[in-house]
Amino acid sequence: MAISCPALLLSAPASNQGKTLVSAALARAWRNQGFTVQAFKCGPDFLDPMILQAATGRPVYNLDLAMCGADDIATRLYWAAQQADVILVEGVMGLYDGQPSSADIAAQFQLPLALTIDASGMAQTFGALASGLFAHRPEIIPAGVIANRTGSAGHGTLLRDSLPAHVPWLGALQKQEALTLPERHLGLFRANEIDDLEQRIAQAATMLTEAGPLPLPPEVSFAPSLANTTPALLAGKKIAIARDEAFCFIYPANLDCLHALGAETVFFSPLHDDALPAGIDAIWLPGGYPELHLATLGSNHAMRHALQQAWQQGLPILAECGGMMAVTNSINQQPGFGLLPGDCSMQARFQGLGVQFAELPEGRLHAHTFHYSRLETGLPVYAQATTQRGKPGEAIYRHGSLLASYLHFYFPSNPQLVAGLFSR
């Protein structure tokens, strides 16, 4: 049976318009009004969801037509409509950028669209830009516009008056240092690295509601998707997952998938712990920022020994992107854990970017890559990913019980294959 829930997709004309903080402000404003907000992020990003989780107090899931697929998106939106009072989806890049784009998700799932536009240096053109973005695809449902980085209250009024009558005004955020989020080479800082993140979100939410409570977006009807039962192929298995400031790129959907497969999951810190959790059957080293913690990583000899011992005993180990970097011999000539013969070095610009499809002997697994480092290894390539355009993508390496790649895998795309990766 279909279920209705107020829902909104927030996008922008381009990247760097402030979508994440504006999304967080919307979410917090509704949360302050007593509503349960379930947020999502278009695209395969890890960092923006951390900010949205801080704003909503709930795990944030990814929606991507290429990586996740339409059925996965439909299932998650239907689940959210049952759990929450309002659904908020943050777009990726500009509204029509990418194939598929945020606009494609808005159109396919009939999500009303709101825009945030960096209005600095802009007056009446604001209304023309908003109007044109909505008109470019007539099936898009306009839900309103938020002006970001305005110069004054008077500037906001000028922008509001430039909008056509059918496009609602949702408010403005004035340009302030406190209303920006710090960035580094892979995007925004992690949420727990921003000491005053809570104050920034709260201030932005207050600014959006100066004229009164924020109205809920239009209701959307979400239909249940076909039931797809995941067999408990990992029942009785305990998987140790690296999670700390260096290993933090974990899709919540991947954890849900492991639990649906019957696995027990436990977390450990490769940076700070001196041993692996007891009684484990497999290890997952997800991506993150090992390159920012080389001294700590290289000096943890106890963890290096524990991982090498686990590998020698044949425990399945999955190492993704930053996780793979950490298990090489070295990163920027600083010692790694030494499980994978090879060396990583950071480069000036990114070396891989986009959704890819891992073509493993066991089947296909959807994935995403975004990295600035390069791996030099003499290992033969075990399997190869392909890009969305069918071109060769990232290499996948097998070394004993270790499977390693720059890819971040999306487990729900093939749970049975994932169960095999974590089994002896």
User: What distances in angstroms separate CA 30 from CA 26, 321, 328, one per listed residue?
Assistant: 6, 36, 46
Asked if 242 and 323 count as a contact pair (C-beta separation under 8 A), the reply is yes
| Direct distance between the N- and C-terminal alpha carbons of the chain, in angstroms, rounded to an integer | 41
Q: Cβ contacts of residue 17 below 8 Å, gap of 6+?
A: 116, 117, 118, 148
Are 367 and 407 a contacting pair, CB within 8 Å? yes
- Alpha-carbon distance 300 to 242, whole Å? 14
- Say how far apart CA 83 and CA 86 lie, in whole Å: 9
CA atoms within 13 A on the CB side of 143: 26
* 280 contacts 313 by C-beta, under 8 angstroms: no
Three-class SS state of 51: helix
Task: Indicate if 42 belongs to the active site.
Answer: no
One-letter identity of residue 270: P
| Catalytic entry in 5, 257, 321, 344 | 321
CA distances from 384 to 43, 148, 334, 377, 391 (A): 22, 43, 28, 15, 10
Least Cα distance to 226 among 34, 376, 75 occurs for 75
> What is the distance between the alpha carbons of residues 360 and 202, in angstroms, rounded to a whole number?
46
**d(C-alpha 362, C-alpha 401), whole Å:** 15
- How far, in Å, are 37, 307, 338 from residue 327 at the CA level? 38, 9, 5
Torsion, CA 42, CA 59, CA 418, CA 362, rounded to 10: 0
With a CB cutoff of 8 Å and minimum separation 6, the contacts of 157 are none
Residues forming the active site = 321
